[in-house]
Amino acid sequence: MRITFNWGTGIAAVYTAFALATTGFVTFAMSERVDLVSGDYYAQSLRQDQRMAAEENARSLTPPPSVSLTVPGQASLSLPPAQSGAAGTITWYRAADSRADRTTALALDDAGHQQLPLGGLMAGRWIVQVCWTANGRDYYYEQAVLLP
């Protein structure tokens, strides 16, 4: 039996290859983890106006908040000294892997500083999100940090 290759056979082969490639890609895509959005993104979007007001409050502080890498294995968070009685959280957010996120309590010293241990954090880009309340006002500050 001899198979002849004509236009009909070529078109059928192209459509079959396309269908197999599409099925393979969909199977691959469905098996990958997607961590680019937080689990409660809808609830966060409802609080967006409050967050924008808190960001504006943080921008109005003098000196501005900052996160810097100090000695190997530690980072330093600095807020204005008037914020030393603040209560809040510090979140190390990793967009590439939500399982690596870490949240700690805000515990500033009298000068408005807090040492942040980096043990257990992978090298790469992190976003430090600081959310706190002081003097009856909410504040929010975030800064990207590249860990070596």
pLDDT digits (tens, 9 = 90+) for 28-75: 999 987 765 666 778 878 888 999 999 999 999 888 899 998 877 888
Residue 53 placed within a domain: yes
In eight-state DSSP terms, residue 38 is -
Q: How far apart are CA 77 and CA 102, in angstroms?
A: 15
Which of 15-24, 78-87, 91-100, 125-134 has maximum average pLDDT? 15-24
Residue 71 placed within a domain: yes
Residue 6 placed within a domain: no
Those residues whose C-beta lies under 8 Å from the C-beta of residue 134, and which sit 6 or more positions away, are 82, 83, 85, 86, 87
Confidence grade of residue 84 (pLDDT, cut at 50, 70, 90): low
Prediction pTM value: 0.71
Residue 1 placed within a domain: no
The per-residue pLDDT for 15 is 97
Give the CATH number for residue 90: 2.60.40
